[in-house]
Amino acid sequence: MKYLASLVCTTLMLVAASANALAASNAGAAPTPAQDALFNQVSKLDTDLFDSFNHCASPEQLQKHAGYFVPNVEFYHDNGGATWSRQDYLQNTKDHVCGQFRRVLVPGSLQVFPIKDFGAIEQGSQKFCWIASGKCFGEGQFLILWHNQDNHWVATRVFSYDHHSIE
């Protein structure tokens, strides 16, 4: 278990460092049309993924949400631990999220980094707000590793971390 925690921590640090290095190397450079297209694609994926997440109290929306993940998705949550399958991730979402709170992307925080012959890394900040009151209570960071296979995008790894209260 200690090895697994170390591996997860190391992987997260490497992904974040790589994304930050890529961002620094591209700082000031005008985005290419391909970069704009990739950003737009991943931004739409984020919108659609979290629209289904935010409405997952509906069984149809929970099923739609499931379609954004590979069956063996790895989901790492700083407070909740790791899950190793879409089924376990969906059960956790159903038990702890659906009908209770929604996720809101922090405007201007979304970054997208290409991964040659695979897909993209999505990185950003997010807030969590109670559905009943609309009051936001927490925020955190996220990374999603998207795989584009035959123009079908699916999340293969998700990191949700640095959660803290904003109340």
CB 128 within 8 A of CB 138: yes
Q: What is the pLDDT of residues 47-87, one digit of tens each?
A: 999 999 999 999 999 999 999 999 999 999 999 999 999 99
pLDDT (mean) for 95-117 = 98
Going by the DSSP 8-state scheme, the letter that residue 26 receives in this structure is H
Token pair 């584009």: residue:
148
pLDDT (mean) for 15-25 = 44
Helix segments in the chain, DSSP class H: 2-26, 33-54, 59-66, 86-96
Residue 28 pLDDT grade (very low, low, confident, very high; cuts 50, 70, 90): low
- Hey, what domains does the chain have and what are their CATH numbers? 2-165 (3.10.450.50)
Handedness of CA 14, 17, 20, 22 (dihedral sign): negative
pLDDT at residue 33 is higher than 50 = yes
pTM of the entire predicted model:
0.83
Contacts of 69 (CB under 8 A, 6+ apart): 86, 89, 154, 155, 156, 158
Helix, strand, or coil (residue 87) = helix
What's residue 34's pLDDT?
A: 79
